[in-house]
Amino acid sequence: MRMLINVAETVVADALRGMAAAHPELVVDVANRVIVRRDAPVAGKVALLSGGGSGHEPLHGGFVGPGMLDAACPGEVFTSPVPDQMVRAATAVDAGRGVLFVVKNYTGDVLNFRMATELAEDEGVQVASVLVDDDVAVRDSTFTAGRRGTGATLFVEKIAGAAAEEGMPLERVEAVARKVVASSRSFGVALSACSTPAKGGPTFDLPPGELELGVGIHGEPGRERRAMMTSHEIADFAVDAILEDLRPRLPVLVLVNGMGATPLLELYGFSAEVHRVLDERGVTVARTLVGNYVTSLDMAGCSVTLCQVDEELLRLWDAPVATAGLRWGR
């Protein structure tokens, strides 16, 4: 096992201690596994809270800060956080205008956030929730009933976060988040399996010279396996799969996302191919983001997410943001 860790049991705690040292603008509660922006609760503002299993960094903790999340709850690797974490975070960031939970569609996350909603409301916190289910590759999977939540989570957290920063009420922030979900679709490709610290090796078998089309961010099976394809061929397959479902009439945001072990040299080359396909299909690109944002530990591969945007969504996307993982305009 070649991993830059001490022991598997302390991987998440060690990472949180390192995050606290690197980002004094955050309050990182290592013992209770809660990350909060230091100026929370922000008066007059709806709070955004998300979370999920660790191993997808910078999602979600790297997106805590002005313009995005107010708090994040990291679970163990590929394991949902527990309701107590979410309630602790919600009460820490609630300024009296309510909290929006952003939930990726994985069974553990859905159940635990649902329970946390009930507990937080018992504490007097008004809670709304939005479910992100953007992956078009498969309908049901190992961890999911319905479509998986993947790259569109970034779009939801950024755009709804900007809406909250503007002072919109909870109902409006929730509506914006739901609009982003409805307007977004994703497709992922694995060139290698990921390795969890606990297992110490690949979590699934992907023979040399093959790739998995439609893989999930935990290594869940996709649509099919094929012999290795070129970047040109992968872009055709992935973008067409999205467009068959989305059929955008408006310009789109494009996220070309690395799964953790794919260098930017390859991601930018793949982005060029994605733009080629969109141009050939008559789809206008409004903005493009390239990098490792919604990862799967050390998996080699990528995902594409498209979100069609009107003037309001594009304005909110362009609004200032200052987090560890995403920053512009400030």
> Is 188 part of any domain?
yes
Concatenate the DSSP letters of all residues of 77-101 into one string.
ETSPPPHHHHHHHHHHH--SS-EEE
Instruction: Find the helix packing angle between 152-165 and 311-318, rounded to 10°.
Output: 90
Active site residue 218: yes
> Is 325 part of any domain?
no
Please report the pLDDT score of residue 148 as a whole number.
Answer: 94
Amino acid, res. 146 = G
- Same-domain status, 63 and 153: yes
- Same-domain status, 137 and 234: no
Please report the pLDDT score of residue 220 as a whole number.
Answer: 87
How would you write the pLDDT of the chain (330 residues) with one tens digit per residue?
A: 789 999 999 999 999 999 999 999 999 999 999 999 999 999 999 999 999 999 999 999 999 999 999 999 999 999 999 999 999 999 999 999 999 999 999 999 999 999 999 999 999 999 999 999 999 998 776 667 789 999 999 999 999 999 999 999 999 999 999 999 999 999 999 999 999 999 888 888 899 899 999 999 998 888 999 999 999 999 999 999 999 999 999 999 999 999 999 999 999 999 999 999 999 999 999 999 999 999 999 999 999 999 999 999 999 999 999 999 999 997
- Same-domain status, 67 and 164: yes
Q: One of 23, 56, 60, 232 is an active-site residue; which one?
A: 56
Please report the pLDDT score of residue 140 as a whole number.
Answer: 72
Indicate the DSSP class of residue 315.
H
- Same-domain status, 50 and 163: yes
Peptide bond before residue 320 is cis, with ω within 30 degrees of 0: no
- Same-domain status, 125 and 232: no
> Is 330 part of any domain?
no
- Same-domain status, 168 and 191: no
Q: Which of 137, 162, 178 is the last residue of a domain?
A: 178
Please report the pLDDT score of residue 62 as a whole number.
Answer: 98
- Same-domain status, 143 and 245: no
> Is 329 part of any domain?
no
The CATH number of the domain where 33 resides is what?
3.40.50.10440
Number of domains in the chain: 2
Cβ of 150: how many Cβ atoms within 10 Å? 31
> Is 145 part of any domain?
yes
> Is 140 part of any domain?
yes
Please report the pLDDT score of residue 63 as a whole number.
Answer: 99
Please report the pLDDT score of residue 205 as a whole number.
Answer: 86
The CATH number of the domain where 215 resides is what?
3.30.1180.20
- Same-domain status, 188 and 272: yes
Please report the pLDDT score of residue 197 as a whole number.
Answer: 94
- Same-domain status, 239 and 124: no
Active site residue 56: yes
Q: Tell me the two tokens of residue 191.
A: 């060139």
Please report the pLDDT score of residue 139 as a whole number.
Answer: 78
Q: Which of 178, 206, 241 is the last residue of a domain?
A: 178
Indicate the DSSP class of residue 289.
E
Indicate the DSSP class of residue 195.
B
> Is 116 part of any domain?
yes
Domain of 66, in residue numbers: 10-178
> Is 324 part of any domain?
no
- Same-domain status, 249 and 266: yes
Q: One of 23, 218, 232, 275 is an active-site residue; which one?
A: 218
- Same-domain status, 285 and 147: no
φ, ψ of residue 10 in degrees (nearest 5): -115, 10
Please report the pLDDT score of residue 143 as a whole number.
Answer: 67
- Same-domain status, 203 and 161: no
Q: Which of 178, 202, 222 is the last residue of a domain?
A: 178
Residues whose CB falls within 8 Å of the CB of residue 264, separated by 6 or more in sequence, listed in order: 258, 290, 291
